């Protein structure tokens, strides 16, 4: 018995020593880091950011990526229309003017009671064609002066940027906020064509109209502009670049400032990457005046329609009347309206409220109303992020939509033009917004929708859900910077005209539509099946004929 106990204690001692030895070895074992960073010593460093249209909606997201690249040691030059406000926000970016900033009114487009459809978009394309020569020469001269290694081009009416990169044999990365033109799908469309974003539940006639009739009408409407641009290129002896009107052919990467959850889901080729929402890391704080106003009001409605669009006098007056009545009915208790044009001429002098009372607009525009604050500019994200902001009345621009989703602020959307109409539909589909029609504004409709958005439990839950999703996706601007770095790195090993970025281009781009989808095989199989069916049918007919003719032959033989 004693021997057994001593043997057992010996075994236990050995096991304890073994465990201690393992722990000691583990504790003294050295580990190495896998090294997540890349060697940037041999990567070209000079990048040109180009945007013809300019404006915060296009340039600011691009500069969000620029900030990351600057931190990694790259030299960024922005070539776009003048914008002093953006220049002050990004002092580390060298900015060169491509020309004065233009508004829609400057080119004869009045966006008032009608949305900007594809017919009016032709005027924008005409402006791009007229400005092409000067823009191209500017891009080319700046690229040569600063030894540019890569072009990062906003694709909106900016063919000159892509063509300059192609001429200089430099890699180009395209940037846009719209996904439909980059990779069209038959189950999606665009309100610019007079169709809904989603065609999933549309009739066969509507799908035929949106997938064939409307695109053909659009192509027809821009045909003359395309020819004009083609003639200018021929005169200047310029070969078109690899991204033309948003369509990628080869050797290009396209970054799209959108994200799943906001964008209707679809499959994408590897060279089209969703990298949105691109948001800044820091935003201006509230002015003392705004801070005091917001802290005094617990249910604030923030109103902003961007800098390019303005409503008619009639619509402005309806909006102001609805804001006054929303306060009177205690739907909200404060209004902040970032109104670019605060002229009294943009409003009726007297407003007739629903209860029969009259209100003079002049004192309100002069900020004499205790619960309405009108300003030409407000730090939008900071206002939306304030705990007292309960609702955002917006035009539905991409940047405004992203900021509203990030802060979890429900939206009442009044789209004016372009992608705003589609964004409004996406926000409604996500369950965080309702929309209005600019051609049929009604005060009671505005009030009812404001009240519904603030009381609807589903809207609050969807806003919180989308808030988390937006914050997760907001990190993807670092992926955008990574991809740009890779393109730069790859360009130092492979000529941009020789199988460049071939790893991103699926075989269907080279095989053609018929071979890529095995249509030739299906045609052969269908032919075989039809041949077999044909043989069976022919033999059946012969058999049937012989069966019919056999009785008559027997009767004939009997008579003989």
What tens digit of pLDDT does each residue of 462-475 get? Answer: 999 999 999 999 99
User: What is d(CA 158, CA 175) in angstroms, rounded to the nearest whole number?
Assistant: 11
Question: 260-285: per-residue pLDDT in tens?
Answer: 889 888 888 888 999 999 998 888 89
498: confidence class by pLDDT, cuts 50, 70, 90: low
pLDDT at residue 110, rounded to an integer: 56
CATH architecture under which domain 46-274+478-506 falls: 3-Layer(aba) Sandwich (3.40)
The strands making up 75-81's β-sheet, listed across from edge to edge, are: 94-99, 75-81, 46-51, 150-154, 172-176, 253-256, 272-274
User: What is d(CA 175, CA 156) in angstroms, rounded to the nearest whole number?
Assistant: 9
Phi, psi for 294 (deg, rounded to 5): -70, -35
Question: 380-430: per-residue pLDDT in tens?
Answer: 999 999 999 999 999 999 999 999 999 999 999 999 877 889 999 999 999
Q: Which residues contact 205 (CB under 8 A, 6 or more apart)?
A: none
Domains of the chain, by residue range, sit at 46-274+478-506, 288-455
Q: For residues 255 and 513, which has the higher predicted lDDT (pLDDT)?
A: 255
Between 81-90, 362-371, 398-407, the lowest mean confidence (pLDDT) is in 81-90
In percent, the amount of the chain with pLDDT more than 90 equals 50
User: What is d(CA 532, CA 397) in angstroms, rounded to the nearest whole number?
Assistant: 58
Mean pLDDT for 313-334 is: 94
Query: Is 288-455 in the same CATH topology as 46-274+478-506?
Result: yes
Q: State the angle between helix axes of 214-235 and 118-145 in degrees (0 to 180), rounded to the nearest 10.
A: 30
pLDDT at residue 2, rounded to an integer: 46
User: What is d(CA 113, CA 557) in angstroms, rounded to the nearest whole number?
Assistant: 91
Q: The domain 288-455 belongs to what CATH superfamily?
A: Glycogen Phosphorylase B; (3.40.50.2000)
9: confidence class by pLDDT, cuts 50, 70, 90: low
């Amino acid at each position: 018995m004693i021997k057994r106990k001593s043997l057992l204690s010996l075994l236990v001692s050995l096991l304890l020593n073994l465990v201690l030895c393992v722990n000691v070895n583990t504790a003294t074992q050295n580990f190495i880091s896998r090294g997540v960073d890349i060697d940037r010593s041999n990567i070209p460093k000079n990048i040109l950011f180009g945007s013809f249209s300019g404006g915060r909606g296009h340039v600011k997201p691009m500069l969000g990526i620029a900030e990351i690249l600057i931190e990694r040691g790259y030299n960024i030059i922005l070539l776009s229309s003048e914008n002093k406000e953006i220049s002050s926000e990004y002092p580390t970016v060298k900015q060169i003017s491509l020309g004065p900033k233009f508004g829609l009114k400057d080119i004869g487009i009045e966006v008032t009671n009608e949305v900007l459809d594809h017919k009016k978009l032709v005027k924008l394309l005409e402006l791009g064609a007229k400005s092409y020569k000067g823009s191209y020469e500017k891009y080319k001269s700046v690229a040569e002066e600063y030894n540019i290694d890569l072009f990062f081009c906003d694709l909106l009416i900016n063919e000159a940027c892509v063509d300059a990169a192609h001429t200089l044999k430099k890699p180009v990365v395209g940037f846009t906020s719209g996904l439909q033109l980059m990779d069209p799908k038959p189950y999606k469309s665009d309100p610019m064509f007079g169709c809904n974003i989603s065609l999933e539940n549309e009739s066969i006639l509507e799908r035929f109209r949106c997938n064939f009739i409307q695109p053909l009408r659009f192509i027809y409407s821009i045909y003359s502009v395309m020819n004009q641009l083609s003639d200018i290129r021929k005169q200047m002896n310029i070969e078109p670049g690899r991204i033309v009107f948003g369509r990628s052919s080869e050797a290009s990467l396209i970054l799209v400032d959108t994200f799943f959850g906001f964008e209707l889901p679809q499959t994408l080729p590897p060279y089209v990457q969703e990298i949105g929402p691109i948001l800044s890391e820091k935003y201006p704080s509230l002015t003392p005046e705004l801070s005091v106003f917001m802290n005094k009001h617990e249910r604030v409605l923030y109103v902003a329609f961007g800098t390019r669009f303005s409503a008619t006098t009639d619509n402005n007056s309806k909006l102001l009347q609805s804001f006054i009545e929303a306060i009177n009915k205690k739907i909200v208790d404060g209004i902040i309206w970032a109104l670019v044009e605060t002229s009294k001429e943009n409003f009726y002098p007297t407003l007739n409220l629903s209860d029969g009372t009259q209100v003079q607009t002049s004192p309100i525009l002069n900020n004499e109303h205790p619960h309405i604050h009108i300003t030409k500019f407000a730090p939008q994200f900071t206002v939306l992020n304030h705990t007292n902001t309960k609702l955002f009345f917006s035009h539905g621009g991409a940047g405004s939509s992203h900021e509203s989703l990030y802060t979890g602020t429900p939206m009442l959307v009044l789209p004016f033009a372009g992608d705003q109409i589609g964004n409004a539909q996406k926000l409604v589909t996500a369950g965080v917004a309702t929309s209005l029609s600019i051609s049929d504004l009604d005060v009671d409709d505005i009030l009812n929708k404001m009240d519904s958005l603030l009381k609807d439990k589903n809207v609050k839950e969807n806003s919180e859900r989308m808030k988390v999703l937006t914050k997760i996706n907001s990190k993807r601007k670092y992926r955008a910077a990574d991809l740009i770095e890779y393109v730069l790195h790859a360009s130092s090993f492979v000529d941009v005209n020789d199988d460049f970025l071939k790893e991103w281009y699926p075989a269907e781009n080279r095989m053609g539509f018929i071979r890529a989808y095995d249509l030739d095989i299906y045609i052969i199989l269908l032919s075989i099946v039809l041949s077999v069916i044909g043989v069976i049918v022919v033999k059946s007919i012969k058999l049937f004929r012989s069966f019919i003719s056999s009785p008559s032959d027997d009767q004939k033989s009997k008579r003989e």
